[in-house]
Each structure stands twice: as structure tokens, then as C-alpha cells.
Amino acid sequence: MNREDALRSEIHQVLDPITGPTPELLPGIVQRLRPVSRRRPLLAIGQVAVVLGILIVGAVVFSTHRAPVRGPAPVTTSPITPIVAGPGADIAWITSQQSSGGSYTGDIVTGVDPSGHVVGRINARDELRSPDGSHLYALVDGGLDVYSAVDGHKEQTIRLQSVSFGEPMLSADGRYLTVVGGSPSTTLQLVDLSAGRAVASTNVAAPADGVGLVVGAHAEHVYVVGATIAKFAFDGATLRAQQRQTGHTLACDGLVVGGANSAGGLPFRVLADGHTLVAFCPSDGRVTWFDLDTMAVTHEVAVGQRNPFWVSPVFSPDGNTLYLHEGGTGALHAVDLIHQTVKSTKVASADNNPLAWLRSLLVTDAYAGSISRTAAVSPDGTWLFTVGAFSAPGGATLVHLPDLAVKGQWLPEVSLHSVWVSADGRTIYLLENGDQLRVLRTDGSQVAKLPLPAYTDTFIVPTIP
């Protein structure tokens, strides 16, 4: 019997006595079906009648006080300022999950250029993309594969110590990569990507599960952030444990929920001051400021969210603002990370469907899943593209960030779940339900629509911690 079967057997032994024999449930259920089924239409009719009445009165009042609303004027979101990006940075790389016998076996990663042509395919797992967008990295057994983002060809394999459940992370400048993981003890490995080799490793001891965070141009400090935070100093050759913070640190007991690229990006960033870590916790909607020098939480705010994992976090290009977009409701929070203030508004579906809000009265949703990338910021920080009505049509919404105003909408009849903007800001990639990719220009014109391998998941976006 292998370890998995042994654990399965133990869990059965523990839970079977709690469960006991299954009680007779059906009679009680059947009793409750009839009254519900009779009452429900009357209740619904009553609710709809009330709502319609309100809407009619509202429409009359509105029409007497306001000019007719015109459709949005054509909007262009072309960038104001160019950004520095590497080769291939305008190419979208999209994961499609593969399985065999019910077990995850890795991803097919498809590269699509701004003209809608497939430029390459990679078989990989645990992928990251360099901050300049030019390379893709994937953990393999005992190593790290490095791919070109131009066409997906493998450039090299960097040897690493073998780890189980390794969590990779890049430094903000893309020079260093850390891998935290291993069994039985947790190891931190530091890789100098410019040198193409692992330069140091050390035993972390605790936290057992964490993400490596590199601070400094030469990785002077490396933090392992999990349920606790451990700080290491790097002198160019060795990593030395320096400080350890235990107990409450971040809301999520770590930086990343559900894998390094679970949000198609990252829910954390180190601010420009170089010592303030800001992390968003998708479980409870809290944003935490953590001082990496004093190793202490300095501030926290909580944004309202209807359900865990509904909110997609995305940082402004300058890293000073965190946008939190709740795909299911269209709520948008702009968190000023410098002044620690929050400005909230509503975008998307509520503007298109006047009855959309009614759904929240009649339906209680729970969406305990990973985070979809429902928002992306243009490279110049002017526009936010949002999608995500959770399987419902709604298209993409264009939000003008300086005033958080909705300025336009694309493909309103289409159900979209993820969005990414190319590094030059001229191409918008949209993942549609049903494993379809749409490629759009900044004026909303569609360049291409193409199918992707089944179980399409998300974009591998540049990693900027």
C-alpha cells in the first residue's frame, strides 16, 4: 500500500464512525419540496412586480430629468508612454491543464502573437514569466527550464536540488529566482538567472510552505513568506538566517493562495521604498502592509467581497495602487498603497443590465475557487480592462482609471473569464468560456478568434513582486 492509500485508509477509519449509517433523508426532503415549489412562483412574481414598479417609476423620473443616454463613444486605450519590454513581451502565453486518469499531468502552454497566430507550444508546469515578458520558466524534476517567450523554444535547463511541491518566484528585476520546497525539510534555493546557475541554498526549517521574496539589486535579503516569515542575508555566496517572525504576519498565512501564478499574476508586491510588502488575501479580502525591516505588520484594510476568491488583484504599473476587481459583482476597489486609502466603485455588468442587481437578492452564490484574472491594467496605468460575469455574457469593460469611470464596453454578448494586455498596450487578449481566445486592438476591433486546447486556464503574465 502506498502512502496515499495509507492516508485514504486512515481517513476512512476516522470519518466512518462519525458518519455512521446514512439516515433516511428522502422522506424529509420530499415533505419540503411541495410547499417550496408552490410558494416560489408567487414569491418570485411578487418580487418581480415590486421591482418592475420601482423601475417604471424610476424610468419616468429619470427621463424627465436627464437627456437620453447615448452609447459609449469610440474609445482608444493606446498607451501614452512606451514601456521597456523584452522580446516576445507582446505575445500571450496561455495555460491549458492536462490530466491523465484524473491526475494533473501539467499544462500545454500556447503562445499567441498580436496577429492571432500561434507562435509556439510548451509542455510545462509551475510556470512563471519574467518581468520584461521575454522568458518563461518552468520547474522540472531537479531543474528549471528556461523558454523564450518569442517562440517557446527551450533555451536552457538550470540544475536545482530536487524538491517536492516547490514554489518558484522571481525577483522584481528578473535576475534572481527562488524555489522554496522540499521534503522532509524545506529548502530555499537562490538561482542567478543571468549566470544560469543556482548560487546558494539553505535549510529554511520554517515556514514549511512559503514563497521566496528577493529584496535588493544583488539579492541582499531573501525572505521566505508563509505562515511565518524568515529573513535571510545573501553575501554573494551563502544564505544566512538573520531573523524570524512567527505568529500572525499576513492575513493568508502566506503570499500566494493556490500556487505561484494562481491569479494569473501576484497578489503581493514590494513597494518602491524597498521595504514595504503589501499583500492581498483572497480568502478574506484583507490588504496587509508589512515592514520587511522591522518584520511587523504596519497596517491593514479590508475590502468587502461577496465571496472568497472572487476578487482579482492587479497592481498599477508604478506599484502605488492596487486594484481589486470582483468579477461576480463588478465591484472595483482602488487601494492607494502609499496613503493607505480605498476608493470603491462599481463597474461592468450593473451598467448594462438594469436588473442585474436583482440577482443578488434572489441568488446566493459561493465561488470557492481560484482567482480568475478578471482585470488587467494598461502599461501606462490609464485603463483597466475588466471581465467576468461568471459564465454570463457581459464582455469586457473599459475603466478610465484617473476617475474610475466606465468609458466603454466590448463584446457585451460574450462570456469572458480572463484578460491580459500586451506589454506595448496595443493588444488585448480575452479568454472566452469554451476555450476560445479573442485578440482585440485598443479600439475594440477584433483581430482574431481562435480555439485553444481544452481546459484553458489563464495567462502567464509577467511576474513583478
Partner 1 sequence: MEHAADPDLVRDAKRGDEAAFTSLLRPLLEPAYRLAAGMLQDRQLAEDAVQEAAVKAWQKIHRLREGTAMRPWFFGIVANQCRTTRRGRWWSVLKTGAEQRGAESPDEEAVRGIDLRNALKRLRPEQRLVVVLYFYLDLPLEEIATITKASFAAVRGRLYRGIRELKADFPITEVQA
Interface contacts to partner 1, rule CB under 8 A: 1, 3, 5-15, 18-20, 22-23, 25-26, 28-30, 32-34, 36-37, 40, 95, 97, 99, 101-104, 107, 165, 208-209, 258-259, 262, 283, 308-309, 366-370, 455, 457-458
Q: Which is nearer to partner 1, 30 or 69 (CB)?
A: 30
Per the listing, cell 419540496 goes with 33
What is the Cα–Cα distance from 130 to 108, expressed in whole angstroms? 19
What is the Cα–Cα distance from 244 to 186, expressed in whole angstroms? 15
Per the listing, cell 524555489 goes with 179
Q: Which is nearer to partner 1, 356 or 404 (CB)?
A: 356
Q: Which is nearer to partner 1, 69 or 368 (CB)?
A: 368
Q: How many CB atoms lie within 10 A of CB 413?
A: 7
Q: Which is nearer to partner 1, 32 or 65 (CB)?
A: 32
Burial class (CB in 10 A: 0-12, 13-18, 19+), 445: exposed
Q: Which is nearer to partner 1, 46 or 259 (CB)?
A: 259
Q: How far is the CB of 279 from partner 1 (least distance, A)?
A: 17
Q: How far is the CB of 420 from partner 1 (least distance, A)?
A: 16
Q: How far is the CB of 73 from partner 1 (least distance, A)?
A: 37
Q: How far is the CB of 100 from partner 1 (least distance, A)?
A: 10
Q: Which is nearer to partner 1, 101 or 402 (CB)?
A: 101
Of 226, 256, 263, 278, which Cα lies nearest the Cα of 95?
263
Contacts of 131 (CB under 8 A, 6+ apart): 170, 172, 173, 174, 462, 463, 464
What is the Cα–Cα distance from 427 to 447, expressed in whole angstroms? 9
Q: Which is nearer to partner 1, 217 or 392 (CB)?
A: 392
Q: How far is the CB of 235 from partner 1 (least distance, A)?
A: 31
Q: How far is the CB of 62 from partner 1 (least distance, A)?
A: 32
What is the Cα–Cα distance from 175 to 156, expressed in whole angstroms? 15
Q: How far is the CB of 226 from partner 1 (least distance, A)?
A: 11
Q: Which is nearer to partner 1, 37 or 445 (CB)?
A: 37
Q: How far is the CB of 39 from partner 1 (least distance, A)?
A: 10
